[in-house]
A and B are shown apart, each in its own frame.
Chain A
């Protein structure tokens, strides 16, 4: 019952994050939306490793026969959170630089510098 729920929620979070990215008017908002998108992958990973009636995969306290959640996806989620945090920190630091130099952090105002040029 309800085994599809975490997948649906992950999909929903992904779409919400993408909607935020596409409509963003502020780079900090953009970076946070990127985090929201990444969160959907954490949920997806954890949903995959979920076991009915399972407990935390720490075998020191429990018998080997107990059902446990898949520790591998938890390790992957943790790794992904670390990577995501590093990228977020970097992007926010760059955003601060943009704010200092340009006085705006609206990605539409800071559009790509592809110019009309001709040959």
Chain B
């Protein structure tokens, strides 16, 4: 620990307690206080949390801040075999956790600023829920013991279900929230069962102690089974195939600022949990190659399925939701390497993704407010001359392909490097394809909506007599009709705030150094255990080995991704002409037959989604049992 001062010692606790308390206060005041008070207080708290978490990122350096709450420090000697030294609640803040808290707080801040005018008629319950959501996200990132993590996990879920179903007058939104709630609660039950089995085996709850106990004896089937149960809940939250069916519906239906937080922060926590739990508790206990192959396969399948589904969406928020699934898969590839560089790159990728996908969701909210729809075809050419919103979509779209000045660039370049060093060039190809398809989809809709480029999709569907083209049901506006230009500026500004943060991630060398240190600290299991066992001992700070992101390979891959993205966008915009080419029609037919199957699977109803979840969990369990 680099001798942190008193405030920094308190920061991890404050980052949870302040938003939680403020949420309760806002909910209590909401009944009589004017709405502006709720807005101002919530925005203030989110801003304070962002700054506080940023302070933690800087101050924690190459060390950790460990807090055993209420003086329940671990007993110095165990009470016999099966021990039980660590029954207290422990928060462990290292740089990785703090970085995730910053991005969560920044997204909540942007969401609250956005909804100041956007959700003007919503009661203060919305603000309270957003703050509770932030507290749960922070608590989960910082939790150092399993049960505590589970409670934050469930609170995160409960706040998210309520936020997703907030528009009670919109039945599709409410049903999406129920789907979201049932599937995620089932996943959380599996996680709790996994925690219980680990507690039964080790008698410990603090992750560091669980890991030490597991390492002191040979692993058996029970440990593998517990790991699978634990991880399935996290993978459900992370929207990893085949646990991802709730995502598109929830993110299409939730109010737009909530979508930004769901897709940027909550989903990232699922990936983070897998990485953290593996590193501290299961690394060296369970077979390394099994976990590596499993996570790489899950990541690749998720990245590709999400990207393909993304291309075939015309509902902009669903498109962005599938794009989120795809990018989570890419981040999971980094985690799947199970090494220092892969994990560091994955976290960088997730933080960069938050700064890229957040603005896109907020931009779709601007469209929904303005035109009452987010159907790409209905919006054809409607956005001409709306340069501010256009630039958000254009930059967001280019950012998803890893344009070397925007948020995702840092994570994408380091991830590609880590994957190729680890000898997985096929995974680099997956990263490029996922980036190209998701970016191409956003560029396509940008060109259609704001520039009116390509064939008018409305006339085409009637001319082709294409039976599959159903008219979209009109979207219920999330609030009253279009708002004035000054209010609209307040809606675009938070998107720009996030994009600017992304530029900072991509260009500031300090960030890259800090990220390398974060990865080294994250990977340092012994340091983690020692810091948790002896919170007041001063340990030598870990220094990461920073590699420059500005390599020729990285820039070349970014150029390839961007070129492919433009190709994807152009092929979609001028689809009739592509079909007129000699091979065009056969290609379109082949693509349609593949995608038709994927589409059929993705129309899963709630019981089918549950069946997919259980089947996926069973497959993972079998893989670890063999």
Contact = CB atoms under 8 A, between A and B. Distances in A.
Judge: A and B partners, yes or no. Answer: yes
B165 A94 contact: yes
Interface in B260-312: 311-312
Given A44-B196, A94-B174, A110-B605, A117 B312 contact: yes
A7 to B, nearest CB: 9
A38 B185 contact: yes
A61 interface: no
B75 to A, nearest CB: 13
A30 B611 CA distance: 13
| Most B C-beta atoms less than 10 A away, residue of A23, A30, A48, A116 | A116
Contact of A107 (B162, B602, B607): B607
Interface in B139-187: 147, 151, 154-155, 157-158, 161-162, 165, 168-169, 171-172, 174-175, 177-179, 181-182, 185-186
Interface in B213-247: 245
A16 interface: no
B158 A112 contact: no
Given A30-B606, A41-B196, A87 B175 contact: no
Nearest to B603: A114
A64 interface: no
B186 A21 contact: yes
A52 to B, nearest CB: 14
Interface residues of B, number: 62
Nearest to A46: B196
Contact of B249 (A30, A95, A112): A112
Nearest to A86: B158
B177 A34 contact: no
Given A112-B605, A116-B470, A18 B614 contact: yes
B313 A117 contact: yes
A45 interface: yes
A55 interface: no
Q: Label chain B's interface by main secondary structure.
A: helix
B559 interface: no
| Most A C-beta atoms less than 10 A away, residue of B165, B444, B470, B592 | B165
B189 A37 contact: yes
Contacts of A113: 172, 249, 252
B189 A41 contact: yes
A111 B298 CA distance: 26
Nearest to B444: A119
Given A22-B614, A112-B249, A118 B592 contact: yes
A118 B311 contact: no
A33 to B, nearest CB: 9
Given A48-B200, A73-B196, A102 B603 contact: no
Given A83-B154, A90-B162, A97-B171, A112 B177 contact: no
B453 interface: no
Contacts of A116: 468-470, 599
A45 B466 contact: no
B610 interface: yes
B154 A101 contact: no
A18 B604 contact: no
Contacts of B169: 101
Contacts of B315: 115, 117
A85 B249 CA distance: 24
Contacts of B469: 116-118
B245 A98 contact: no
B325 interface: no
B174 A98 contact: yes
A44 B572 CA distance: 53
Interface string B468-504: 1110100000000000000000000000000000000
Nearest to A110: B175
B192 A41 contact: yes
B314 interface: yes
A51 B444 CA distance: 64
Nearest to B164: A94
Given A90-B158, A90-B162, A34 B185 contact: yes
Given A113-B252, A118-B468, A101 B171 contact: yes
A91 B311 CA distance: 32
Contacts of A24: 606-607
B181 A94 contact: yes
B48 interface: no
Nearest to B249: A112
Nearest to B377: A117
Contact of A118 (B185, B205, B312, B610): B312
B539 interface: no
A62 interface: no
B320 interface: no
Contacts of A40: 189, 193
B193 A119 contact: no
A95 B199 CA distance: 35
A111 B182 contact: no
Contact of B161 (A37, A90, A111, A115): A90
Interface string A64-99: 000000001100100110011011001100110110
Contacts of A119: 311-312, 314, 444, 572, 575
Nearest to A24: B607
Contact of A115 (B158, B171, B470): B470
B181 A91 contact: yes
B185 A94 contact: no
B182 A114 contact: no
Contacts of B605: 107-108, 110-112
B429 interface: no
Contact of A38 (B189, B318, B575): B189
B254 interface: no
A22 B607 contact: yes
A106 B602 CA distance: 18
B43 interface: no
A32 to B, nearest CB: 11
9 contacts: A22-B607, A24-B607, A30-B606, A44-B196, A48-B196, A90-B165, A94-B181, A116-B469, A117-B312
Interface of B: 84, 87, 147, 151, 154-155, 157-158, 161-162, 165, 168-169, 171-172, 174-175, 177-179, 181-182, 185-186, 189, 192-193, 196-197, 199-200, 205, 245, 248-249, 252, 311-315, 318, 444, 466, 468-470, 472, 572, 575, 592, 599, 602-607, 609-611, 614
Given A79-B147, A87-B157, A112-B248, 5 more contacts: A97-B174, A102-B175, A107-B605, A112-B609, A114-B599
